[in-house]
A and B are shown apart, each in its own frame.
Chain A
Amino acid sequence: MSSAGRRPVTDLALSGAHFGSKVIEERGAVLRRLRRTDSLFRVATRTAAYTVLLILSGVILALMIGAWPALSTLGIDFFITQDWNPVTEKFGALAPVYGTILTSLIAMAIAVPVGILIALFLTELCPMWLRRPIGIAIELLAGIPSIIYGIWGLFVFAPFLQQTLQPFLIALFGPIPLLSSLFAGPPYGIGMLTAGLVLAIMVLPFITSVSRDVFDAVPPVLKEAAYGMGCTTWEVFSKVVLPYARVGVIGGVMLGLGRALGETMAVTFVIGNAHKISASILAPGTTISATIANEFTEAVGDIYTSSLIALGLLLFVITFVVLAIARYMLLRIERRIG
């Protein structure tokens, strides 16, 4: 290659396998052909990229058109009431929005610390021979279809919770004023808490595997230096590994949150599908995606169908806001680190 060092690129192409035997007069034609394939390539990649934008705006547009009859009829009531009455055609999105956010928060409250701790154990403390089995088990969790989580949640997990955790929580917090209403009510087994717990298990692999990868990417020399100065494992983790890897960890958390917000089948099975905002997290509730999955096929009448599409639009907006917040946080952290 060094012999071709100073020659122009076209000459390189000409002396390559395809054009090797071409005479100098044909150079123009060859060049034109090169330019044509090059611009064709450019157009193809650009089209692919623009298609994404086109599809995205198409989806938003379709959702808006679909949601319009409901939004124009129900107005602001759609956003601030929790009525969901197909008989009188009064629809309010508050209960599903509340359920979506609450179940995701429960899921993140459990999955984030547990996921990070698992990742920490795997990268810092775990004996080598155990690393692969645990890592593979975590990744397998991510591979289980959500319907399986739903069936397991309904048949195994919910009856178990009804007989163990829920009576325990009710008895434990019963005498405490504020917390008693948070954990009130008959133990149904299924409900917001159950949905949150199932979601926590579902998003755990996302948070764990992303965190593990970014913890692995921390330069060993940093950790070794810290250990050399006499830091404990906790100090190394909290002062060196976590600050170094936090951008990645936040990315993993947001990935998990995105899944928790949109998860449909597993939640539908265990949340109880009640259009109601209850103070108690043991009570049945509903989420946006569960409502749509449950009711869309049987929704009769324009306003009903349109309200469900409006719910879809709302979920789109919520997901977008969450992603935007994540981007903003990443940007701030990056800027601070400089």
Chain B
Amino acid sequence: MKHCKSLIVAGMLAASVAAAQAADISGAGASFPYPIYTKWADAYKKQTSVGLNYQSIGSGGGIKQIKAKTVTFGATDAPLKGDDLSASGLVQFPMVMGGIVPVVNVDGIKPGELVLDGPTLAKIFLGEIKTWDDAAIKKLNPGVKLPSQAIAIVHRSDGSGTTYNFAYYLAEVSADWKSKVGVNTSLQWPAGIGAKGNEGVANNVANTKGSIGYVEYAYAKQNKLSHTNMINKAGKNIAPNSETFQAAAANADWKSQPGYGVILANQPGDNSWPMTAATWILVYKQPQDAAATAEALKFFDWAYRNGGKMADELDYVPMPAGVVKAVENTWATEIKDGSGKPIFSMTN
């Protein structure tokens, strides 16, 4: 009798697991938005019992996986170009935004105490400014006591959308960077040591005296690292926080690029943080499994509507309402099932 019961229970468990798995949305890609995607997925599962299986394998991996059609959606921090999108039949839209901040480990420097501008930051990462008491840094920080310590540069060793956005900004503000290094998810770094992932850079900066690195804002906050302030395009001294990230996004012209592939680096506006970055989702225009893509779009729609507060808590920035509307319009007009019927219909 006892055995019978436990068998039944086990059977039911197995069945429910199977059912849950069958309904899971599968996606893979960027690690930058991984914390917020999992947080959204948790809340979404509680409401709808539909789960999300998101593999945070990096933007390049996400693009490969969606092109191999092993997942329902791919996620990337480096937007695909318009011709790549149309060639592979993919639709791209931004999901959430965040900020990248330079972090330093210099004795006596507190978070936000040091100010840098774009050209100086580029020169540091080019290896041209070698010590902390260099004239260029001193000029920006008249009141700060800077040691004559060598600058140890820490960069990402793995390919990363964070690197892409950071390099994009440096290329915007420095012709030298543009011609010598360029913009990509991984680069030929002129100097410094490489560390794996945002957490690796954060740890290396924390462990190495005199170091400077760049991380997604949440990692700087969690690891209690000293971020620097930046002089933005308008010439203002800006601290990184969700307001200044939002300000950068507000000024962006999202329609200017195919697939909303706008890089938010060095945006105009008095209050714009210069290294703001968006992260994108990729789905097929004519997915093989229309039902799965419909489920995924339902989840993204829910996240646009209800995910703002959760994003705030993790220092991400939700997409502005106007962009959401345009994106959902794109879904309704471009994503279709085998018979040509739209998968997503706008509810309002």
Residues of A within 8 A of B (CB): 83-88, 154-155, 158-159, 162, 186, 188-191, 268-269, 272-275, 284, 286, 290, 294-295, 297-300
Contacts and interface: CB of A to CB of B under 8 A. Distances in A.
Interface stretch (B93-101, B180-188, B263-271, B325-333): B180-188
Contact of B193 (A83, A86, A188): A188
B57 interface: yes
Nearest to B157: A273
A87 B182 CA distance: 6
Q: Nearest 10 pairs between A and B by C-beta?
A: A298-B159, A273-B194, A273-B157, A298-B60, A87-B182, A272-B193, A85-B188, A186-B150, A284-B193, A298-B58
B193 A84 contact: no
B20 to A, nearest CB: 27
Given A274-B192, A298-B59, A86 B158 contact: no
Interface in B151-170: 152, 157-160
A273 B210 CA distance: 19
B185 A298 contact: yes
Contacts of B241: none
B32 to A, nearest CB: 12
Given A162-B208, A188-B152, A189-B208, A295 B193 contact: no
A155 to B, nearest CB: 7
A154 B203 CA distance: 8
A159 B211 CA distance: 13
Contacts of B182: 87-88
Contacts of A84: 188
A255 B192 CA distance: 33
A84 B189 CA distance: 9
Given A155-B203, A189-B208, A297 B159 contact: yes
Contact of A87 (B57, B58, B157, B181): B181
Interface of B: 57-61, 63, 150, 152, 157-160, 181-189, 192-196, 200, 203-204, 207-210
Contacts of B183: 87
Contact of A273 (B59, B61, B195): B195
16 contacts: A159-B207, A186-B152, A190-B193, A268-B157, A272-B194, A273-B195, A274-B194, A275-B189, A284-B193, A284-B194, A290-B157, A294-B158, A295-B158, A297-B158, A298-B159, A300-B60
B187 A86 contact: yes
A273 B186 CA distance: 12
Contact of A154 (B63, B150, B184, B207): B207
B159 A295 contact: yes
A104 B63 CA distance: 36
A300 B157 CA distance: 15
Contacts of B61: 297-298
A27 B19 CA distance: 59
Given A87-B181, A88-B182, A273-B195, A297 B188 contact: no
Nearest to A275: B188
A158 B158 contact: no
B158 A83 contact: no
A286 B152 CA distance: 17
B188 A86 contact: yes
A295 B194 CA distance: 11
A86 B57 contact: no
A299 B60 contact: yes
Contacts of A159: 207-208
Contacts of B157: 268, 273, 286, 290, 294-295
A301 to B, nearest CB: 9
A87 to B, nearest CB: 4
B196 A300 contact: no
Contact of B208 (A85, A188, A300): A188
Contacts of A295: 157-159, 186
Given A272-B194, A284-B194, A300 B185 contact: yes
B186 A190 contact: no
A87 B187 contact: yes
B312 to A, nearest CB: 28
Interface centre among B157, B181, B200 (most CB of A within 10 A): B157
A274 B187 contact: no
Contacts of A290: 157
Nearest to B181: A87
B203 A298 contact: no
A158 B204 CA distance: 10
Contacts of B159: 86, 295, 297-300
A86 B74 CA distance: 22
Given A162-B208, A272-B193, 4 more contacts: A85-B187, A155-B203, A298-B158, A298-B186
A286 to B, nearest CB: 8
Contacts of B58: 297-298
B185 A268 contact: no
A72 to B, nearest CB: 22
B194 A294 contact: yes
A297 B185 CA distance: 11
Contact of B188 (A83, A154, A268, A294): A83
Which of A88, A159, A298 has the most chain B CB atoms closer than 10 A to its own CB?
A298
Given A298-B60, A298-B185, A158 B196 contact: no
Contacts of B204: 154, 190
Contacts of A88: 182
Nearest to B186: A86
B164 to A, nearest CB: 10
Nearest to A150: B196
A74 to B, nearest CB: 15
A186 B153 CA distance: 11
A275 B193 CA distance: 9
A279 B209 CA distance: 23
Nearest to A90: B188
A204 B209 CA distance: 31
Contacts of A87: 181-184, 187-188
A159 B152 CA distance: 14
Nearest to A83: B188
